[in-house]
Structure 1
Amino acid sequence: METDRTICLRAEGVSRRFQEKEVVHGIHLQVYHKEIFGLLGPSGSGKTTLVKILAGIDEATSGTVTVLGTLMPKLEMLTKIGYMAQSDAMYSELSAKENMEFFGSLFGLKGSRLVKRMAEVLELVNLTEHMKKPVASYSGGMRRRLSLAIALMHQPEVLILDEPTVGIDPVLRKSIWDELENLSRGGTTILVTTHVMDEADKCHRLGMVRDGSLIAVGTPQALKDDTGSHTIEEAFLYYGGIRA
């Protein structure tokens, strides 16, 4: 990755409490311009809550988040952030094409630009031949692919993806990661959550999350080197206190 230490996304002391339970604890995090930053952790570790706060979908109980220098949450940032949720938020009775036209209009896309972007992202996720089918008829993997296509439509400066490749076959998963790397080289900043270790190795830097806390941050190689580990999984277990 080219060296660019411009901070694109910053979290300072971010915590989130639901009634009596605090699920995110005092997170401090910086993501740099053009970086693919991965949040690695098991289900229930607080990753989804954290990315919702970073995307402006949820608000921290305490602490602050800034994206592209703007204090979040901020409605105007909708056009600059692409967000793919872990649960697919689409209209099942509509076709993929109709969903994309609707969400594209929210992003300010119209006319030939909308048509062009729809074609490009549908091809990327291999859904072109299924674009006129109702989403209700889609498999879980197809819904994930359509969610990713929608998040990419408006070519956002910041892309936040929550478990984007769950339920997607290995060949398509590779093509999606190839595209994320292309987007990064082109200037997009990408934050992605995963619990898949080989995906974690593809990130420029990783933040390891356990029980709502950020337990380590660094490049995949540095995290392995610092713990004397051969794999990211071994490094995660080390930082989590599971292996001495």
Structure 2
Amino acid sequence: MSISVNNISKSFKGKTALKNISFEVKKGELFGLIGPDGAGKTTLFRILTTLLIPNHGEATVVDFDIIKDYKSIRNNVGYMPGRFSLYQDLTVKENLEFFATIFGTTIEKNYDLIKDIYVQIEPFKDRRAGKLSGGMKQKLALCCALIHKPKVLFLDEPTTGVDPVSRKEFWEMLKRLQNKGITMLVSTPYMDEAAICDRIALIQDGEMLEIDTPKKIVKHYSKTIYNVKANNMYQLIKSLKSYQHNYSVYPFGEFVHYTDTRTDFSPIDLQHYLTSKNLKNISIEITQATIEDTFMELAK
């Protein structure tokens, strides 16, 4: 296994950030850690990259112990933190050369690994990093994390705050890197990105909710979900939450995802109820469960 975590726990001033976390990441796997802000994702990343020491438990990265062999781990992993952490006053090229020098290598020696990414930022190689767009900053950070050919790549919310086009491009780059044999642990609050991973772990309040492939996790959702739409979203949500038979109600894009407590639920009954609340242009249709639906259910 590239990563093995056994009963890792971490607290800060009496507040639990991680509670008995256990999971494994196989060699060459793209593994996603999915959860909202404050779930414990960054704390776990900092432990696995030897920046924090856990209160309890043990873990290995590429067969090195996170406490005893921290120097070996640092030489074998790449870490891209959630916040842009490169030197903003240095140019693109200077940042890359600096990180290559730290690891005793050169851009030229490992250019084949970063080529597909670097060609996109090369036209701006003399621009200061602080002047790059969000998407370009992420590509530069990824290049710097890869410059020493790491065996495992840790990416902590790499697409947060990045536009949708750049997000799509970034994940395409990760899939290409996976084809080159690099193991990746990626955290994200975006449920749609979870479907791209080989396996995912859903995490909430420092605890693992479920670990499996995206398809299998979605299959575990047992209730029928309805896409509900009307002319007034705010009033629709308020009315659905007041409906005596509602099991769950939450917005999902232009719709509201609704589940009912009854096994003999009839959409017609719900439509009559919503009409009585002065809502118009009402539509109620069955939809497929998503990872977000499953997460919301498990988080209850």
Q: TM-score, normalised by structure 2?
A: 0.73
What do residues 134-171 of structure 1 show as CA deviations (whole Å, max 9, x unaligned)? Answer: 12222344322321221122221101100111233333
Where relative contact order (Cα < 8 A, 6+ residues apart) is larger, the structure is 1
Q: Rate the CA distance shift 1:221–1:118 in 2: closer, same or farther, 3 A.
A: closer
| SS at structure 1 position matched to 2:109 | helix
* Counterpart residue number, 1:93: 89
* Counterpart residue identity of residue 108, structure 1: G
1:213 is the counterpart of 2:213? no
Report the alpha carbon displacement of residue 121 of structure 1 after superposing the two structures with TM: 3.4
TM-score (norm 1): 0.89
Deviations 1:176-235 (A, max 9, x none): 222212222322111000111211011111100100111111111111111236100001
Partner of 1:139: 133
How many Å apart are 1:115 and its aligned residue? Answer: 5.8
Counterparts of 1:221 and 1:32, CA distance in 2: 18
Question: Is 1:238 matched with 2:297?
Answer: yes
1:108 aligns with 2:104: yes
CA–CA separation in structure 2 for the residues paired with 1:69 and 1:152: 20
Q: How does 1:29-178 map to 2 (within 5 A)?
A: 29-73=23-67, 74-110=70-106, 112-113=108-109, 119-123=115-119, 126-178=120-172
Once residues 112 and 81 of structure 1 are traced to their aligned partners in structure 2, the CA distance between those partners, rounded to angstroms, is: 19
- Counterpart residue identity of residue 233, structure 1: E
Residue 160 of structure 2 aligns to a residue whose secondary structure is: coil
Indicate how the Cα distance of structure 1 residues 33 and 116 shifts in structure 2: closer, same or farther if over 3 A, else same: closer
Give the residue type in structure 2 aligned to 1:153. I
Deviates more, 1:13-22 or 1:107-116: 107-116
1:4 counterpart residue number: none
Contact 1:144 1:166 in 2 (8 A): no
| Farther off after superposition, 167-176 or 194-203 | 167-176
Give the length in aligned residue pairs.
233
How many Å separate the matches in 1 of 2:148 and 2:199? 25
Q: Which moved more, 1:36-45 or 1:18-27?
A: 18-27
> Does the 8 A contact of 1:82 with 1:159 survive in 2?
yes
Q: Structure 1 pair 113/61, CA: closer, same or farther in 2 (3 Å)?
A: same
1:8 corresponds to 2:15? no
Q: Is residue 62–residue 73 contact of structure 2 (8 Å, CA) maintained in 1?
A: no
- How far off its partner does 1:86 sit? 0.7
Q: 1:14 to 1:234 in 2, by over 3 A?
A: same
The one of 11, 26, 32 aligned to 1:17? 11
Which of 177, 196, 213 does residue 202 from structure 1 map onto? Answer: 196
How far the C-alpha of 1:116 sits from its partner, in A, is 5.9
**C-alpha RMSD over aligned residues:** 1.8
Q: Secondary structure at the match of 1:11?
A: strand
Q: Distance in 2 between matches of 1:152 and 1:169?
A: 23
The answer on whether the counterparts of 1:141 and 1:166 sit within 8 Å (CA) in structure 2 is no
Contact 2:29–2:183, Cα closer than 8 Å, also in 1: yes
Q: 1:207 to 1:116 in 2, by over 3 A?
A: closer
**3-state SS of paired residue (1:154):** coil
Match of 1:27 in 2: 21
Contact 2:100 2:107 in 1 (8 A): no
* Structure 2: gaps (5+ residues): 223-287
The CA distance in 2 between the partners of 1:199 and 1:109, in whole Å, is: 33
- Cα-to-partner distance string for 1:66-106 (whole Å, 9 max, x where unaligned): 01111014112222101100112111111111111011111
